[in-house]
Amino acid sequence: MKRKAFVAFGTLSAFASSAFAAELVPGGTAFVENRAHFDEAAFAAKVGREATIRQLYQNVAYRPGVLNNIKNSLNGLRFGFGIQPSRIAIASANQGPSSAYTFSDYVWSKYRIGEYFPILDSDGKPIGRNVNLRRTSAANGPSDPNLPTSPFQDTSIEALQQRGVIFLTCHTAVEEIAVGLVKRKYAPAGLDPSAVAADILTHLIDGALVVPSMVATIGVLQQRYGYTFITIQS
């Protein structure tokens, strides 16, 4: 969020209810994103770039193993089929609980995302941050894709983004999550769903692209841009 704008309104709720906020919040502040607040040019530039092959992964349930599948797609297409990296376009279409892939640590902590869904660690405790975000390899690490320390084996969101993967965030999903956070008292007292949604949408990870509705976007990606559809929920 642009801090100066927020301070000028004094409270998050006051900011979210202002007309000014609609221009600053990705996708706007209405429950249903309208075209006036959808950055369709940025969307088209990212998903419509020149490519030999385009894939989209629909993610609903929070199953981080899908990040490994995306990594395997990239490696298979590049090293097995010999397609140049610049000619591979992969989009991660996140909705429902998987929206949390694009939530910053701020959102995970403030709204107790791991407890809300729930998303638990190996000890059964709620996760308190976006553990899939940070890269686990050096950007200039080993170029041999067979080495476990190679960037080509890094399944972090940052590493996949560096390889060109587009991480999409569903505006509708965020609005629905915000309603649940308020109803179940995971949001700080005094915040309404609109304010919570605005807070989340202005604190996404770098590079996340907000779309109006993921199920609608998947149709557009398939029909208009020629993306093939993959969904892996286990």
Structure tokens at 171: 């505006």
Structure tokens at 3: 């801090």
- Give how far Cα 231 sits from Cα of 63, 126, 138, 216, 223, Å: 11, 25, 29, 15, 17
- Give residue limits of the domains in the chain: 46-231
pLDDT at residue number 148:
95
pLDDT at residue number 19:
56
**Quick check: 105 and 127 in contact, CB under 8 A?**
no
* Predicted structure pTM score: 0.91
Q: Which CATH superfamily is domain 46-231 in?
A: DsrEFH-like (3.40.1260.10)
pLDDT at residue number 5:
47
- Give how far Cα 87 sits from Cα of 37, 66, 82, 222, Å: 30, 21, 10, 17
pLDDT at residue number 15:
54
pLDDT at residue number 18:
55
Which backbone phi and psi does 230 adopt, to 5 degrees?
Answer: -135, 135
pLDDT at residue number 11:
56
pLDDT at residue number 2:
44
First-to-final CA distance of the chain: 35
Residue by residue, pLDDT tens for the chain (234 residues) are 444 444 444 455 555 555 556 678 989 989 999 999 999 999 999 999 999 999 999 999 999 999 999 999 999 999 999 999 999 999 999 999 999 999 999 999 999 999 999 999 999 999 999 999 999 999 899 999 999 999 999 999 999 999 999 999 999 999 999 999 999 999 999 999 999 999 999 999 999 999 999 999 999 999 999 999 999 764
